[in-house]
Amino acid sequence: MAELGAESVKPRRTILYRLTLVGAAVALAAPLCATSTASAAVLFSCTSGSGGGFLQPGLGSTPVYQTDVSASLSISGCDNGETANVGAGSASGFSTVKSGPGAPNKTLSCFTNYANNTLIMAGFTDPSFGINWGQGGSSNGIAKLKASGVVNTYKAVLVITAGKYLAPAGQKTKLKGTFTGSPVTGSCTDGDPTQLVSFASNGNIIIQQS
């Protein structure tokens, strides 16, 4: 992850519909990958995650701020029988996720490669994501995206601040995983930036408390 950067912003429902289609197209992709720390207690892990993202103004060859980013993610194959549908950003009805201007203040292109664990996108106003769990209940929290050190491969960190799986006082529950993005629209040039992307997972999604 029709250009939106070159025309008026499409209605939220249109963007969500596109994200849903992209998610369905990669629903059989490999799972997200994450490594938990030794001090973290793993609540459960899931073997499959796929989805789509929409970026404004989009990714070209010149790094620029991504000022409004939305995403959807479907999670399955959890060892406790759980499934999940995740929505993040303004198109899903939550606060804005962005790379800048302002924190984390990173410019991005199709070819940007920041050092591993560099924060490159975030929705610092809570909530910037929501999760509907298949076994009932929902969660909200703060969405963050970090670089992996590999072009087009990123680490997602969703910090749950309310709802199901909320951690006890003094701890945090995090959904963590690594994924690789692929362009769906655009050609990764400044004249034809990529705005819609799909992402496929590379291992297990870990839900942990620490």
- Residue reference for tokens 């601040």: 161
* Model pLDDT for residues 55-75, shown as the tens digit of each residue: 999 999 999 999 999 999 999
| Verdict on whether the full-model pTM lies above 0.95 | no
Decide if 60 contacts 71 (C-beta within 8 A). Answer: no
Q: How far apart are CA 72 and CA 131, in angstroms?
A: 10
What are the b/e assignments for 18-51, b being 16+ CB within 10 Å? bbbebbeebeebbbbbbebeeebeebebbbbbbb
Q: What is the pLDDT of residue 132?
A: 98
Decide if 147 contacts 114 (C-beta within 8 A). Answer: yes
Which tokens is 106 given? 């990173």
